[in-house]
């Protein structure tokens, strides 16, 4: 049974925010402009992004609502009525509530009746895990279709007040992601038949290396000098916050591993015969920063497996890094803005630094047979 | 970077070597003493033990390289020259390592009289065996792993060790020097790949030796926490 992406959608909240206006929204920590901001923005290359909070730190649209808006956008562009949906598979890094699962909230927000539900948990790769769950369910013949939604509302973690609650000036690892991540949602509709020009999912493959490396990106863990290993071990949540355990952190020293593991995984897929580099027409890679694009490209070149730069597609620089939603938002814009021809192939790649999980996907443009 | 390896056989071999290297790095990440280094739990004693165990293979390294050089027959005279030069550059590296050991608070007599651990024994025996075969082109696989490790020591370990021990680089000269020098060595390795990797047989031999050396090297480091220093 083949599986096709027959529709896509997205939601990016509010107006685009350029680099000069980031701190107008997120706020000045202890009233002072950041000294790291310029350097990190220069390195990641992002020029505009979207936030679901306003300058008064009010949430303008919740994570669940954003996911529903992207899902609705996708369904509106497709041919399937809500009542015929078999499955909803949803991903986020942090829902609006700790419990229940994010999928339940999104289903309710979309008003979708009686379907099978799946929520996947993680960071950037969680959307690909949600996608794979839906893909395998259709391949197995269990369902005929599935709506997959990925949504992120990271900006709430970056309010100046969060950093101020953790005391002194934030350390580099805690501030790094403030200039990287932003908000948005993307959605894909999967069916067991194509509609017009569709994207056939040839395969999805994940490779996780959590056993070999320490945590690289986290929420819930204080830095090295923290009093407890987890935010839930503190007597009160207020003490966990004061100890910096609720800040989102990236151990940037470990990021080089991500590039190597990404290249290693691709070389493995080449070995297996799943990828032929010269047959890839488009590469959609969720690199979090322009800096890594160069590193990945150099390492692939060294291995003689380079994919020419003109085949790389991204909208990172204008839509921002929206974590697990990034690849879906990218795929949606790619489909809407490109003239795709039957037989073209797309290689998608989502590396996750959380604890090193990489997911690859291969798509082929197919055309529905006309009778 | 790709211009350094130009033949298609050389490229295919390099892809394989890169994968062996990435796998080796994951093996290293699971080694207890290196996990302590990565997780800021590394002590002075750890560093002295690390040097003590590394030294036993470093001091023997010159032996397999020179033996390997003498195993290259006339058709490989150019390769032989490159291997001899490599041996000449590195055959006294262990002296720097011993000086670091002393700078880190160790007694010279301790490191000089230390024995090879089980991993060092296996690595040494394997290398001496391979180096004795006629035209041992697969030694490139061993050099790939050991040179790569030189880079890793210079770029990563030395910095972490100095940070953990509050040192200023005085006790990490071996790791820093070795890495700085290995850039040129890696360029020579790329040239060697083109020169000797002419078909599947050579490629398989090179990758196999790289894989074995990687595993035995990791074993040598794992043994640090099994055997007394």
Question: pTM of the full predicted structure?
Answer: 0.91
Q: What is the pLDDT of residues A223-232, one digit of tens each?
A: 877 789 999 9
| Nearest to A283, CA basis, from A340, A360, A190 | A360
Phi, psi dihedrals of residue A204, rounded to the nearest 5°: -135, 130
Nearest CA in chain A to B27: A212
A354 and A342 assigned to the same domain: yes
> With contact defined as beta carbons under 8 Å apart, do A93 and A152 qualify?
yes
Mean pLDDT of A185-214: 96
pLDDT of residue A178: 97
Instruction: Answer whether A224 touches B (CB < 8 Å).
Output: yes
pLDDT averaged over chain A?
95
Is A257 within 8 Å of B25 when comparing Cβ atoms? yes
Domain count, chain B: 1
In this prediction, residue B228 has a pLDDT band, given cuts at 50, 70 and 90, of low
pLDDT of residue B179: 67
pLDDT of residue B183: 65
A147 and A203 assigned to the same domain: no
Is 90 exceeded by the pLDDT of residue A17? yes
A135 and A282 assigned to the same domain: no
pLDDT of residue B181: 63
pLDDT of residue A111: 97
Is 60 exceeded by the pLDDT of residue B2? no
Residue with the larger pLDDT of the pair B182 and A202 = A202
Is A263 within 8 Å of B40 when comparing Cβ atoms? no
Give the lowest-confidence range in A171-175, A186-190, B121-125.
Answer: A171-175
Domain ranges, residue A271 = 199-213+251-367
In this prediction, residue B209 has a pLDDT band, given cuts at 50, 70 and 90, of very high
> With contact defined as beta carbons under 8 Å apart, do A176 and A250 qualify?
yes
Instruction: Answer whether B77 touches A (CB < 8 Å).
Output: no
In this prediction, residue A182 has a pLDDT band, given cuts at 50, 70 and 90, of very high
A120 and A59 assigned to the same domain: yes
Minimum distance, in Å, between the CA of residue B207 and any CA atom of chain A: 14
Helix (H) or strand (E) holding A363: strand A357-367
How many whole angstroms separate alpha carbon B43 and alpha carbon A218?
A: 26
Which span out of A61-70, A293-302, A362-371 was modeled with the highest average pLDDT? A61-70
Mean pLDDT of B174-179: 83
Give the lowest-confidence range in A318-327, B115-124, B189-198.
Answer: B189-198
pLDDT of residue A177: 96
Chain B hits for A271, Cβ within 8 Å: 19
Is A302 within 8 Å of B2 when comparing Cβ atoms? yes
Mean pLDDT of A308-323: 96
Q: What is the pLDDT of residues B57-89, one digit of tens each?
A: 888 888 999 999 999 999 999 999 999 988 888
Domain count, chain A: 3
A169 and A266 assigned to the same domain: no
In this prediction, residue A289 has a pLDDT band, given cuts at 50, 70 and 90, of confident
Beta strands in A168-221 (DSSP E): 184-191, 197-208, 217-219
How many whole angstroms separate alpha carbon A259 and alpha carbon B200?
A: 28
Instruction: Answer whether A41 touches B (CB < 8 Å).
Output: no
Instruction: Answer whether A263 touches B (CB < 8 Å).
Output: yes
A150 and A277 assigned to the same domain: no
A228 and A267 assigned to the same domain: no
Instruction: Answer whether B89 touches A (CB < 8 Å).
Output: no
Q: What is the pLDDT of residues B17-26, one digit of tens each?
A: 999 999 999 9
Minimum distance, in Å, between the CA of residue B122 and any CA atom of chain A: 24
> With contact defined as beta carbons under 8 Å apart, do A25 and A53 qualify?
yes
CATH number at residue A352: 3.40.47.10
Instruction: Answer whether B113 touches A (CB < 8 Å).
Output: no
Is 80 exceeded by the pLDDT of residue B117? yes
Which runs of consecutive H residues, i.e. helices, occur in B71-169?
77-90, 93-103, 108-113, 118-131, 139-152, 158-165
pLDDT of residue A32: 93
Instruction: Answer whether A340 touches B (CB < 8 Å).
Output: no
Minimum distance, in Å, between the CA of residue A356 and any CA atom of chain B: 11
Is B30 within 8 Å of A211 when comparing Cβ atoms? yes
A166 and A300 assigned to the same domain: no
Is A298 within 8 Å of B26 when comparing Cβ atoms? no
What is the radius of gyration, based on Cα positions, of chain B?
17
Is 60 exceeded by the pLDDT of residue B229? no
A347 and A273 assigned to the same domain: yes
A180 and A295 assigned to the same domain: no
A92 and A223 assigned to the same domain: no
Is B19 within 8 Å of A268 when comparing Cβ atoms? yes
Chain B hits for A213, Cβ within 8 Å: 26, 29
Is A298 within 8 Å of B1 when comparing Cβ atoms? yes
The complex's ipTM works out to: 0.80
Chain A hits for B158, Cβ within 8 Å: none
Is A303 within 8 Å of B15 when comparing Cβ atoms? yes
A161 and A265 assigned to the same domain: no
Instruction: Answer whether B34 touches A (CB < 8 Å).
Output: no
Nearest CA in chain A to B19: A264
Chain A hits for B197, Cβ within 8 Å: none
Domain ranges, residue B88 = 2-225
CATH number at residue B72: 1.20.910.10
- Contacts of residues B103-112 at CB distance under 8 Å and 24 or more positions apart, as own/partner, are B103/B170, B103/B171, B103/B173, B104/B44, B104/B47, B104/B48, B104/B51, B104/B165, B104/B167, B104/B171, B105/B44, B105/B48, B106/B48, B106/B51, B106/B52, B110/B52, B110/B229, B111/B51, B111/B52, B111/B55
Helix (H) or strand (E) holding B47: helix B44-70
Mean pLDDT of A90-113: 97
Instruction: Answer whether A272 touches B (CB < 8 Å).
Output: no
How many whole angstroms separate alpha carbon A9 and alpha carbon B99?
A: 63
Q: What is the pLDDT of residues B32-42, one digit of tens each?
A: 999 999 888 99
Give the lowest-confidence range in A60-74, A212-226, B26-40, B199-213.
Answer: A212-226
How many whole angstroms separate alpha carbon A233 and alpha carbon A226?
A: 11
Preceding peptide of A267 cis, ω within 30°: no
pLDDT of residue B75: 94
Q: What is the pLDDT of residues A241-276, one digit of tens each?
A: 999 999 999 999 899 899 999 999 999 999 999 999
Closest partner CB to B15 (pick from A224, A261, A305): A305
């Amino acid at each position: 049974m083949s599986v096709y992406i027959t529709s896509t959608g997205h939601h990016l909240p509010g107006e685009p925010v350029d680099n000069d206006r980031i701190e107008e929204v997120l706020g000045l920590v202890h009233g002072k402009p950041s000294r790291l901001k310029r350097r990190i923005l220069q390195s990641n290359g992002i020029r505009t992004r979207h936030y679901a909070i306003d300058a008064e730190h009010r949430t303008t649209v919740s994570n669940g609502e954003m996911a529903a808006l992207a899902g609705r956008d996708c369904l509106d562009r497709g041919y399937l009525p809500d009542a015929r949906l078999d499955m909803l598979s949803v991903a986020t890094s942090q829902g609006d509530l700790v419990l229940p699962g994010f999928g339940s909230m999104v289903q309710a927000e979309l008003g979708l009746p009686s379907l099978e539900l799946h929520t996947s948990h993680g960071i950037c790769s969680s959307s690909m895990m949600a996608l794979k769950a839906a893909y395998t369910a259709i391949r197995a013949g269990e369902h005929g279709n599935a709506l997959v939604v990925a949504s992120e509302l990271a900006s709430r973690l970056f309010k100046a007040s969060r950093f101020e609650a953790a005391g002194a000036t934030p350390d580099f690892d805690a501030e790094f992601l403030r200039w990287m991540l932003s908000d948005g949602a993307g959605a894909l509709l999967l069916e067991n038949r194509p509609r017009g020009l569709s994207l056939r999912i040839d395969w999805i493959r994940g490779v996780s290396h959590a056993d070999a490396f320490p945590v690289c990106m986290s929420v819930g863990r204080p830095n090295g000098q923290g009093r407890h290993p987890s935010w839930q071990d503190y007597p009160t949540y207020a003490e966990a916050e004061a100890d910096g355990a609720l800040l989102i952190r990236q151990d940037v020293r470990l990021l080089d591993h991500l590039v190597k593991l990404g290249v290693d995984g691709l070389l493995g897929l080449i070995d297996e015969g799943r990828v032929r580099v010269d047959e890839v027409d488009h590469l959609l890679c969720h690199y979090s920063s322009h800096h890594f694009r160069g590193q990945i490209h150099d390492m692939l070149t060294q291995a003689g497996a380079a994919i020419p730069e003109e085949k790389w597609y991204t909208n990172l620089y204008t839509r921002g890094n929206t974590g697990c939603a990034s690849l879906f938002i990218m795929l949606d814009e790619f489909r809407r803005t490109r003239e795709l021809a039957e037989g073209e192939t797309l290689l998608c790649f989502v590396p996750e630094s959380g604890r090193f999980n990489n997911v690859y996907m291969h798509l082929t443009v197919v055309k529905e047979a006309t009778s | 970077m790709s211009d350094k390896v130009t033949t298609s056989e050389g490229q295919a071999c390099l892809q394989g070597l890169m994968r062996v290297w990435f796998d080796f790095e994951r093996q290293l990440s699971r080694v207890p003493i290196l996990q302590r280094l990565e997780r800021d739990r590394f002590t002075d004693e750890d560093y002295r033990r690390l040097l003590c165990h590394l030294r036993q293979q470093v001091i023997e390294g010159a032996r397999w390289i020179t033996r390997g050089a003498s195993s290259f027959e006339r058709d490989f005279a150019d390769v032989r020259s490159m291997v001899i030069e490599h041996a000449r550059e590195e055959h006294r590296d262990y002296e720097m390592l011993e000086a670091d050991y002393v700078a880190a608070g160790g007694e010279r007599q301790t490191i000089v009289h230390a024995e090879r651990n089980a991993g060092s024994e296996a690595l040494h025996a394997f290398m001496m065996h391979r180096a004795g075969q006629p035209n041992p082109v697969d030694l490139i696989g061993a050099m790939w792993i050991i040179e790569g490790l030189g880079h890793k020591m210079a770029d990563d370990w030395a910095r972490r060790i100095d940070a953990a021990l509050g040192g200023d680089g005085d006790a990490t000269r071996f790791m820093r020097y070795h890495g700085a020098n290995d850039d040129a060595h890696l360029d020579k390795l790329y040239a060697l790949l083109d020169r000797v990797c002419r078909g599947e047989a050579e490629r398989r031999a090179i990758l196999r030796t790289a894989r074995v050396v990687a595993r035995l090297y990791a074993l040598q480091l794992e043994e640090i926490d099994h055997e007394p220093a």
